[in-house]
């Protein structure tokens, strides 16, 4: 089962790359011209996102580099100790929704320090793999079409992240034990 | 809400720096963040150009419509206010399937395309619609079948069984996606009720 899934994911892109143009050709689509026509949208879309992403990454960078993130983490520690949540993993849970690269670096650090097959290592990998960088996704998707007011999207995203963190913790405990 | 989170991160960062008496850290961090932001966008250009090109072929060939028709029950449940034959449906589905297979890079352009189509249905282009929030919720909770990056990283770090976390990741991602869908529904309903009264 696992082999099948990893195999599928490895061949997915090459298969799509061959299938889409071939199918297009069979339907009489001028494939190359069609590709170029669609590809033209890529550049302006990326440019449109720049101000949004710069704004967000400046804030995230300041928040992290000045030690503000560390400070808030230290506030949460007593609560975590009370519910037996491994405190080493907390920074990852908080970084995950705000900074993809930061979370990845932290997850790697956790796995390298405690070993990829330790409880913490598996928990870090599961948490990192099961959620996405909410603020980044929000910035890119809404930024691309110029949405300013995001309604309840941020709340839903962050609450779902919290659910993901808790679910990762519980399922890793359940499957691998402490 | 983004406004507050943004402001909160900056203000508490400046306060933390002031407290430690290292104000120059703020300036450096800000410049670094700005540089990273542009770098990420530059990286996105190649992916966007490439996948939007492929997507146009798929669209011209009628693949997106076929995909939308095939999976329409699921999408109609998630996006009740998008018309059945609307082009947004095809893009939403390609976005979801790309995410499912862990093709993060390919999912972004399709998600952006879906947003553009949803924006055409939007009466107020500055404010998100419920459908846009649903699409965002699905993407932030990232329904993943294969956490490719993590498996690769574990392999590099010498794990005895790098793919051991596939099962736990699927369960966790399912929980967070389910939570996202339920929360999205709840907020959507609450907003609708507020408008009525």
Q: Which of residues 90-129 of B touch A (CB under 8 A)?
A: 101-103, 106, 108-109, 111-112, 115-116, 118-119, 125-129
**pLDDT tens-digit map of A98-128:** 888 788 888 888 898 899 999 999 999 999 8
Domain ranges across chain A: 44-176
Q: pLDDT digit string (tens) for A57-76? A: 899 899 989 999 889 888 88
Whether residue B42 lies within 8 A of chain A, CB to CB, comes out as yes
What number is the ipTM of this complex?
Answer: 0.84
Structure tokens at B114: 């879906």
Which residues does chain B have within 8 Å of residue A107's beta carbon, measured at their own beta carbons?
Answer: 150, 153
- Find all residues with CB under 8 Å of B14, minimum gap 6, and list them: A62, A66, B26
Asked whether residue A1 carries a pLDDT value surpassing 70, the answer given is no
Q: Does B146 touch chain A (CB under 8 A)?
A: yes
* pLDDT(A162) > 80: yes
- Alpha carbon distance A91, B118 (integer Å): 35
Is the confidence at residue A79, as pLDDT, over 70? yes
Query: pTM, whole model, 2 decimals?
Result: 0.83
CB-closest option in B29, B55, B159 to A116: B159
User: What pLDDT, on a 0 to 100 scale, did the predictor assign at position B105?
Assistant: 73
Positive or negative: CA dihedral B185, B187, B190, B196: negative
Query: Which tokens is B115 given?
Result: 């947003």
Q: Which two tokens stand for residue A164?
A: 């993901």
Residues in chain B predicted with pLDDT less than 50, given as ranges, are none
How far does A11 lie from chain B, in Å, by closest CA? 10
CB contact under 8 A, A125 and B166: no
| pLDDT of B69 | 82
Residues in A touching B166 (Cβ below 8 Å):
2, 5-6
DSSP code, position A149: B
pLDDT at B102: 65
Q: Averaged over A164-172, what is the pLDDT?
A: 93
- What pLDDT, on the 0 to 100 scale, is given for residue A86? 87
Q: What token pair was written down for A129?
A: 């793999």
Backbone angles phi, psi at A32, to 5 degrees: -65, -45
A15: tokens are 């298969």
The per-residue pLDDT for range A120-141, each reduced to its tens digit, is: 999 999 998 888 889 889 999 9
């Amino acid at each position: 089962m696992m082999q099948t899934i990893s195999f599928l994911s490895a061949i997915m892109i090459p298969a799509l790359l061959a299938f889409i143009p071939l199918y297009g050709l069979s339907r009489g689509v001028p494939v190359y011209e069609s590709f170029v026509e669609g590809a033209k949208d890529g550049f302006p879309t990326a440019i449109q996102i720049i101000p949004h992403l710069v704004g967000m990454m400046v804030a995230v960078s300041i928040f992290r580099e000045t030690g503000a993130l560390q400070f808030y983490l230290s506030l949460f520690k007593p609560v975590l100790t009370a519910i037996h949540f491994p405190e080493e993993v907390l920074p990852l849970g908080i970084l995950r929704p705000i900074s993809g690269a930061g979370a990845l670096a932290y997850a790697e650090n956790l796995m390298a320090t405690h070993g990829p097959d330790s409880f913490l290592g598996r928990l870090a990998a599961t948490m990192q793999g099961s959620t996405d960088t909410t603020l980044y996704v929000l910035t890119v998707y809404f930024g691309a079409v110029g949405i300013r007011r995001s309604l309840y999207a941020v709340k839903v995203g962050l609450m779902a992240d919290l659910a993901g963190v808790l679910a990762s913790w519980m399922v890793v405990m359940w499957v691998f034990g402490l | 809400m983004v406004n507050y989170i943004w402001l909160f991160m900056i203000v508490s960062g400046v306060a933390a720096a002031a407290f430690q008496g290292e104000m120059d850290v703020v300036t450096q961090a800000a410049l670094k963040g700005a540089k990273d932001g542009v770098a990420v966008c530059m990286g996105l250009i190649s992916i966007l150009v490439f996948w939007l090109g492929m997507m146009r072929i798929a669209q011209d060939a009628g693949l997106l419509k076929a995909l939308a028709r095939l999976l329409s029950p699921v999408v109609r449940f998630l996006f009740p206010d998008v018309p059945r034959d609307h082009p947004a449906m095809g893009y939403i589905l390609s976005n979801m399937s790309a995410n499912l297979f862990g093709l993060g890079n390919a999912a972004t352009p399709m998600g952006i395309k879906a947003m553009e189509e949803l924006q055409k249905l939007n009466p107020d282009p500055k404010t998100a619609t419920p459908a846009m929030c649903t699409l965002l919720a699905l993407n932030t909770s990232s329904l993943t079948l294969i956490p490719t990056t993590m498996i690769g990283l574990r392999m590099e770090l010498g794990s005895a069984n790098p793919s051991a976390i596939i099962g736990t990741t699927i369960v966790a991602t399912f929980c967070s996606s389910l939570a996202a869908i339920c929360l999205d529904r709840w907020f959507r309903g609450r907003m609708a009720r507020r408008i009525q009264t």
